[in-house]
């Protein structure tokens, strides 16, 4: 009895210890993963050129007036947000891959809820999401001999040209491959920018070591052309190539040069049903001024995260790093030769503020003017979950992401419920052994104590255990075992004490002796293993 109690204590100790070790590992592993790493491309980190704080500052209350928020755990929560059609998710520089579940949630956010998304990456961490729209990030630097800008902070100036410093002249709402020649060569005027109407014009835009993107139309694009509108907003020149081999050699056949590499691609999904405060006189379906309206879901893929960074957001900061507003005098690679007026680069802020305004549908006349004219009714959410987080916050962020994943995916959610139920069932079935050495395993009676056995049957049960051990060890059926003569059985047993137990009619045993014989039966099984 003392041994049984000791075993029960050991078992409980093992369980508690295992749970404790698992909990410690779950806390420490995220901290070890981020140790020595700093957060990059965060909207909440100041000063460094590779952060996004200038972008956040220009969009919030001190700038355009958008309501600014962030998500730290996972972008899977997008479909639970209030007014998704008035919400933009910014996924800039995903350092962690977007998994399939997250990609599916974002796809539904755009195509079913009318949400707005901008995804910027120069690697392949966003490819699971991009492929759902037919886009592929190459993941290696793009080199462009005909569309590269110069830096002037070297001595002598300018710096040695880098084909990875790529410029483009981007449209906001039109496909640059389909623009009329007059519109394509026209820069957006100050009047158009101030009034946020960048139509039939283009704006200079700078990238720093972007990759290239390809779009492949699906069969559904042919059968249902009205379902979505696809536009290439910015492109590289026809001479651009992907430096797959890392040698910067345009003549290397292993460096892909398809001739139509895109830098920005926009997808619009019109006629999505949403509920919001509508214009007076349209009639409410839910009550009050709330009614059904049509919105457009939009997503833009950008081949470079640094295009949004503090380094390139404003021309003042860019000038301090040797980037010029003008390329006048540069032969063979100057955006001013592509657009002939209003062609100075004044920071990427000018373009992206126009793009965000366009995607947010401030011109949707079905929406109440009270909502439409107040920019604070529209929110911009920075996805901070794709970045390396701080050492202390890492366990919290990873834990929250795991919880959201487990509760958002139907399969995983039910898997967790079933596992918890199984653990509870096992815990209820593990009862301590008292006087009876034999378990009573009956699922229909798991909450009942086993009935005490008659001491007179102890010997019989030990004999049965012995014969079962012998039969299983020699791989015999019950019929085969029954047909064996006693002499063969005794030869199989070998141990005189166990032979006496099996065939003696006069020998009597105390409970202590039967326990010792049971131990001998267990050892016999091991010592006689072939």
Are 367 and 497 within one domain?
no
Are 351 and 471 within one domain?
no
Are 489 and 371 within one domain?
no
In a domain, 517, yes or no: yes
pLDDT at 460: 82
What's the pLDDT tens digit per position in 134-150? 999 999 999 999 999 99
Among 408, 425, 444, the domain-final residue is: 408
Are 291 and 385 within one domain?
yes
Are 490 and 352 within one domain?
no
* 154, 156, 158, 163 alpha-carbon torsion, rounded to 10°: -80
pLDDT at 52: 94
Q: Could you tell me which of 382, 380, 373 has the C-alpha nearest to residue 353?
A: 380
The beta-strand segments (E) located in 145-195 are 165-170
DSSP string, 438-450: S----GGGTTSPP
What is the number of domains present in the chain? 2
What's the pLDDT tens digit per position in 57-100? 999 977 889 999 988 766 677 878 889 999 999 999 998 899 89
What's the pLDDT tens digit per position in 267-306? 999 999 999 998 776 554 444 478 999 999 999 999 999 9
Are 164 and 41 within one domain?
yes
Are 278 and 198 within one domain?
yes
Q: How far apart are CA 48 and CA 520, in angstroms?
A: 74
Among 351, 381, 408, the domain-final residue is: 408
- CA distances to 24, 390, 406, 418 from 412, rounded to whole Å, are 23, 28, 5, 10
Buried/exposed code over 284-300 (b: 16+ C-beta within 10 A; e: otherwise): eeeeebebebebbbbbb
Are 115 and 193 within one domain?
yes
pLDDT at 394: 45
In a domain, 238, yes or no: yes
Residue whose pair of structure tokens reads 């001999």 in the numeric block: 145
Q: Could you tell me which of 211, 214, 101 has the C-alpha nearest to residue 166?
A: 211
| Higher per-residue confidence, 305 vs 467 | 305
Is the pLDDT at 446 greater than 90, yes or no?
A: no
Residue whose pair of structure tokens reads 């619009």 in the numeric block: 268
Are 350 and 461 within one domain?
no
In a domain, 449, yes or no: no
The beta-strand segments (E) located in 217-282 are 229-235, 241-242, 262-277
What is the CB neighbour count within 10 angstroms for residue 63? 16
Q: How far apart are CA 216 and CA 167, in angstroms?
A: 24
Q: Could you tell me which of 285, 356, 386 has the C-alpha nearest to residue 118?
A: 356
- The mean-pLDDT minimum among 195-199, 279-283, 330-334 falls in 279-283
Structural domain harbouring 500: 455-527
Are 143 and 279 within one domain?
yes
- CA distances to 186, 285, 315, 461, 468 from 326, rounded to whole Å, are 16, 54, 11, 97, 92
Band (386; pLDDT cuts 50, 70, 90): confident
Among 338, 373, 408, the domain-final residue is: 408
Are 522 and 400 within one domain?
no
Are 219 and 326 within one domain?
yes
Is the pLDDT at 411 greater than 60, yes or no?
A: no
Q: How many residues are recorded in the chain? A: 530
In a domain, 17, yes or no: no
Q: Could you tell me which of 56, 96, 102, 95 has the C-alpha nearest to residue 79?
A: 102
Band (528; pLDDT cuts 50, 70, 90): low
């Amino acid at each position: 009895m003392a041994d049984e109690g000791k075993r029960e204590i050991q078992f409980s100790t093992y369980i508690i210890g295992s749970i404790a070790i698992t909990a410690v590992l779950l806390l420490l592993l995220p901290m070890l993963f981020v140790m020595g790493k700093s957060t990059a491309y965060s909207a909440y980190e100041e000063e460094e050129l590779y952060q996004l704080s200038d972008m956040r500052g220009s969009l919030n209350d001190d700038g355009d007036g958008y309501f600014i928020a962030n998500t730290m755990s996972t972008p899977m929560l997008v479909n639970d947000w209030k007014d998704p059609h008035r919400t933009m998710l910014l996924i800039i520089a995903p350092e962690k891959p977007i998994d399939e579940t997250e990609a599916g949630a974002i796809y539904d956010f755009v195509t079913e809820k009318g949400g707005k998304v901008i995804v910027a990456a120069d690697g392949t961490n966003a490819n699971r999401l991009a492929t759902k729209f037919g886009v592929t990030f190459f993941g290696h630097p793009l080199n462009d001999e005909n569309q590269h800008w110069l830096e002037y902070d070297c001595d002598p100036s300018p710096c040695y040209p880098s084909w990875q410093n790529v410029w483009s002249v981007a449209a906001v709402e039109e496909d640059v491959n389909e623009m009329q020649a007059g519109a394509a060569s026209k820069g957006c005027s100050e009047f158009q920018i101030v009034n946020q109407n960048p139509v039939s014009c283009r704006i200079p835009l700078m990238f720093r070591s972007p990759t290239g993107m390809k779009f492949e139309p699906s069969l559904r694009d042919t059968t249902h052309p009205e379902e979505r509108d696809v536009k290439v907003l910015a492109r590289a020149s026809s001479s651009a190539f992907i430096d797959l081999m890392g040698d910067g050699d345009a003549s290397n056949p292993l460096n892909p040069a398809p001739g139509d590499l895109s830098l920005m691609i926009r997808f619009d999904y019109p006629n999505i049903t949403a509920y919001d405060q509508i214009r007076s006189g349209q009639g409410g379906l839910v009550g009050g001024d709330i009614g059904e309206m049509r919105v457009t879901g939009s997503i833009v893929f950008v081949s470079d995260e640094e295009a949004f960074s503090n380094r390139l957001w404003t021309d003042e900061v860019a000038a301090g790093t040797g980037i010029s507003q003008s390329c006048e005098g540069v032969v063979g690679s100057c955006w001013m030769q592509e657009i002939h007026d209003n062609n100075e680069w004044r920071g990427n802020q000018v373009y992206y503020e126009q793009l965000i305004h366009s995607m947010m549908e401030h011109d949707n006349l079905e929406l109440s003017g009270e909502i439409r004219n107040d920019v604070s009714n529209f929110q911009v959410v920075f996805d901070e979950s794709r970045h390396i987080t701080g050492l202390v916050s890492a366990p919290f962020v990873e834990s929250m992401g795991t919880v959201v994943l487990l509760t958002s995916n139907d399969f995983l959610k039910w898997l967790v419920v079933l596992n918890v139920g199984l653990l509870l069932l096992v815990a209820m079935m593990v009862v301590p052994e008292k006087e009876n050495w034999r378990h009573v395993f009956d699922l229909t009676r798991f909450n009942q104590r086993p009935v005490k056995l008659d001491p007179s049957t102890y010997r019989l049960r030990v004999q049965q255990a012995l014969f079962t051990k012998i039969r299983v060890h020699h791989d015999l059926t019950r019929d085969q075992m029954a047909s064996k003569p006693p002499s063969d059985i005794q030869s199989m047993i070998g141990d005189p004490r166990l032979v006496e137990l099996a065939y003696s009619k006069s020998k009597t045993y105390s409970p202590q002796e039967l326990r010792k014989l049971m131990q001998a039966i267990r050892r016999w099984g091991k010592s006689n293993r072939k």
